[in-house]
A and B are shown apart, each in its own frame.
Chain A
């Protein structure tokens, strides 16, 4: 997924859509907005980042899960099998992006890229609902997909690349 930080206005529609689509419990969120301001007044630069689980290629949460509940499916989405999760919290401790949270039902939960929608060929809820169309989702290996086209001509960054996680969430800068 690619997020255009110049187009994001921080409206939090993506947050609400995700909570609605995935029955996220009240008080929890699978994605969130970070407002980033830097510079010296008066020349300040502000960006909005809509953050979520980065579905890393080298996911530390998958590596440290003792039961294999946390796993990567074909296509690269990192998921949690609720019946295998014992709620030990190791994955929460191991995520440099603090993307996971303990669901009140006991298992650990996080953004799933709306896998139930992706399986039907749709986009995740946050992508579809964004009013500025700043979220781009798709197959990074397909040069004609929405996300590949978005990444082609723009400079981008990932969060905490030094953590070695190979995150798959790209922020267009």
Chain B
């Protein structure tokens, strides 16, 4: 039988036998980034479409989660850096060929802006809130006056945030499992779906939850379609791609992906949400919890499995 055998004595920690440079901080941040992108996008969308009053949790309360989650994500990213004292070098240059550079600058823009968004609704959420400083009151009035353009900016930034997490991985052509351009839209849709799930969970308004539920089912169906697309793309790809995808077709990540991400994270909650819309009683925390869980596991699986795939040997 014709065989090829490669032997090497190299044993660099975290590089051999399989690459494992990015640990839990990166998939954790990718999940939080997608979640924040989803929350911010829909908050801005409902303001622009004039439905602000009907969607209180989406527009006012959920962005609090988005701001907190963005800060936690940034802390996770910072803790993953190996040369932390030099992190500021990221902000001395914009490198258009590096998705990591886009991400750094997008986060730099969207994190304070999301805090400003929350601040502009403080008086509506907590009527006794007082800024105490004159300039803050002026700033609040300015933001409220220009809320529509602000919302458009937030929608674009949210889309960039959601999609760049996928583009970041797909730009590394050395990891065949990541090098597919469908990863960008897939992460975006997944992020939107997790954002909707988190908002649904905290909402007390029946009408709002119905609207979000309907949109969420559509996004889950789009996500399932994109996953089928991903599957077909890999099966029809080059040898490194078909080899890489074997990790999900009988390899170590088969169960994690198809059971936890697809079945429990997408199919099952979509079914539950549809049943709920048809009138059956479903405890309101189950579908959102499953969607959030599925989104988190998806990113953990993609980052870990991707680092195992390679071009050579």
| Shortest distance from the beta carbon of B78 to any chain A beta carbon, whole Å | 10
| Shortest distance from the beta carbon of A150 to any chain B beta carbon, whole Å | 23
- Chain B residue at minimal CB-CB distance from A160: B311
| Shortest distance from the beta carbon of B141 to any chain A beta carbon, whole Å | 37
B139 at the binding interface (Cβ < 8 Å): no
In whole angstroms, what is the CA distance A98 to B81 when docked? 19
Task: Bin the interface of chain A by size.
Answer: 35 or more
- State the interface size on chain B (CB cutoff 8 A): 48
Whether A64 pairs with B1 at a CB distance below 8 angstroms is no
Whether A66 pairs with B104 at a CB distance below 8 angstroms is yes
A126 at the binding interface (Cβ < 8 Å): no
The stretch among A81-89, A111-119, A131-139 that forms the contact with chain B is A81-89
Partner pick for A83 among B9, B13, B86, B93, CB 8 A cutoff? B86
User: Known contacts A63-B98, A86-B81, A162-B238; is A34 also within 8 Å of B6 by CB?
Assistant: yes
User: Known contacts A35-B8, A159-B312; is A40 also within 8 Å of B3 by CB?
Assistant: yes
| Shortest distance from the beta carbon of A21 to any chain B beta carbon, whole Å | 18
A143 at the binding interface (Cβ < 8 Å): no
Whether B14 pairs with A96 at a CB distance below 8 angstroms is no
In whole angstroms, what is the CA distance A88 to B25 when docked? 11
User: Known contacts A64-B100, A163-B311; is A89 also within 8 Å of B21 by CB?
Assistant: yes
User: Known contacts A40-B3, A63-B98; is A87 also within 8 Å of B81 by CB?
Assistant: yes
User: Known contacts A67-B89, A84-B86; is A27 also within 8 Å of B3 by CB?
Assistant: no
Partner pick for A66 among B6, B14, B90, B313, CB 8 A cutoff? B90
- Chain A residue at minimal CB-CB distance from B19: A98
- Chain B residue at minimal CB-CB distance from A97: B312
A69 at the binding interface (Cβ < 8 Å): yes
Question: Given the complex, which residues of B lie within 8 Å of A108, measured CB to CB?
Answer: 82
7 examples of A-B residue contacts, CB within 8 angstroms = A28-B12, A34-B7, A37-B7, A60-B174, A65-B98, A69-B89, A88-B100
A-B pairs with lowest CB-CB distance, top 6: A87-B82, A106-B83, A87-B83, A32-B10, A96-B174, A66-B100
Which residues of chain B have a CB within 8 Å of any CB of chain A?
1-15, 19, 21-22, 80-87, 89-90, 92-93, 95, 97-101, 104, 171-175, 238, 307, 310-313
User: Apart from A36-B5, A87-B82, what are 11 other A-B pairs with CB-CB below 8 Å?
Assistant: A37-B6, A67-B89, A88-B80, A89-B82, A92-B21, A93-B307, A94-B173, A97-B311, A106-B86, A162-B238, A163-B174
